[in-house]
């Protein structure tokens, strides 16, 4: 029974995404993702696994690293994030979710609505430009001419709802930097949120890796920004290795209580 659930889970496409297909914002997102292989090709991959290492270099020259594993249903209906060597697992099932801490279910009331926010904050830069298809991403205006790293480019602001991330310190207005010729995403980031001391961040896609014609970020350079957009000391690098999960188990995404009930029925 469990194996039969997986095709149904992966075939689910939100009505919000379908309804937005004809909007100018959705058309721009389509152009941006097409430059990296296209949303349809991305979704056809089914489930992917990403091994991520984030390395922070501090102002004093010292560094520290964090490792993550993300398992992503490419419809974005189900995403599993593992950290601290699997001691913490956070899963989003659309706009709800759950978490395990050292193998025990996190039963706090806020976990169901906080889990997707935590996942979205991490996935947004890791899966650019395809993470622009997350529900709530909106481009209010057409791109405008600009320069990026001294070359002619396009820039376009996009927004997410105030409930999108797990912290208001991450700005809900971002800027995408695109190639002038084909709208390929070069970088995306945000300035510091008003009223918070945390720096803004600019995520530069330095290299990509291809899977079935789809270009995934493989190395991202992150610069911290002040309120004027100027770089501040300190830097982060993100290394990503992506692969297809050939036979994904529904147990990756199913709430443990639901999974236990199914197993008991069997």
Q: What is the mean pLDDT of residues 82-91?
A: 95
CA angle 240–104–52, rounded 5-degree value:
5
Q: Pull the structure tokens for residue 134.
A: 């997350």
Q: 14-18, 26-30, 49-53, 210-214: lowest mean pLDDT where?
A: 14-18
pLDDT category at 103 given cuts 50, 70, 90 is: very high
For the chain, the residue count is 266
Tell me which residue of 8, 128, 22, 17 sits closest to 73, measured CA to CA.
8
Alpha carbon distance 1, 20 (integer Å): 34
Four-CA torsion 221, 222, 227, 228, nearest 10 degrees: -10
Residue in 43, 75, 69, 52 with CA at minimum distance from that of residue 212: 43
pTM: 0.89
What pLDDT shows up at residue 22? 61
Task: Assign 224 a pLDDT band (cuts: 50, 70, 90).
Answer: very high
The reported pLDDT for the residue numbered 259 is 85
Quick one: how far is CA 54 from the chain centroid? 14
pLDDT value of residue 68 = 98
40: left (phi over 0), alpha (psi -120 to 50) or beta: alpha
The dihedral sign for the CA sequence 158, 159, 164, 168:
positive
Alpha helices of the chain — where are they, by DSSP H?
Answer: 2-11, 15-19, 24-34, 39-44, 111-126, 256-265
pLDDT of residue 17: 42
Domain 2-69+128-265 CATH assignment equals 1.10.3470: no
Supply the pLDDT for residue 110.
96
Secondary structure class of 39 (helix, strand, coil): helix
- Return the structure tokens found at 237: 């690098």
What angle, rounded to 10 degrees, do the helices at 256-265 and 2-11 form? 140
Percent with pLDDT over 70 in the chain: 91
pLDDT confidence bin for 234, thresholds 50/70/90: confident
φ/ψ (deg, to 5) at 196: -125, 145
Q: Name the DSSP class of 94.
A: T
């Amino acid at each position: 029974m469990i194996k039969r659930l997986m095709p149904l889970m992966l075939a689910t496409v939100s009505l919000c995404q379908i309804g937005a297909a004809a909007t100018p914002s959705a058309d721009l997102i389509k152009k941006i993702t097409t430059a990296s292989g296209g949303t349809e090709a991305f979704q056809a991959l089914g489930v992917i696994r990403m091994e991520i290492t984030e390395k922070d270099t501090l102002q004093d020259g010292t560094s520290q690293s964090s490792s993550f594993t993300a398992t992503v249903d490419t419809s974005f209906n189900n995403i599993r994030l593992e950290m601290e060597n699997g001691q913490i697992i956070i899963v989003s099932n659309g706009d709800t979710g759950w978490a395990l801490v050292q193998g025990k279910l996190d039963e706090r009331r806020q976990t169901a609505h906080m889990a997707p926010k935590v996942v979205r904050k991490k996935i947004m830069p890791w899966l650019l430009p395809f993470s622009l298809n997350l529900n709530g991403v909106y481009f209010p205006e057409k791109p405008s001419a600009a320069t990026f790293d001294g070359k002619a480019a396009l820039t376009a602001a996009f927004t997410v709802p105030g409930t999108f991330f797990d912290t208001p310190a991450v700005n809900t207005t971002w800027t995408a930097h695109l190639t002038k010729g084909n709208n390929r995403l070069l970088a995306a980031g945000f300035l510091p949120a008003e009223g918070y001391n945390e720096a803004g961040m600019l995520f530069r896609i330095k290299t990509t890796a291809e899977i079935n014609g789809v270009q995934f970020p493989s190395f991202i350079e992150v610069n911290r920004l002040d309120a004027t957009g100027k770089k501040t000391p300190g830097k982060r690098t993100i290394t990503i290795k992506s692969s297809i999960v050939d036979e994904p188990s529904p147990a990756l995404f199913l709430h443990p209580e639901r999974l236990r009930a199914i197993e008991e029925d069997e």
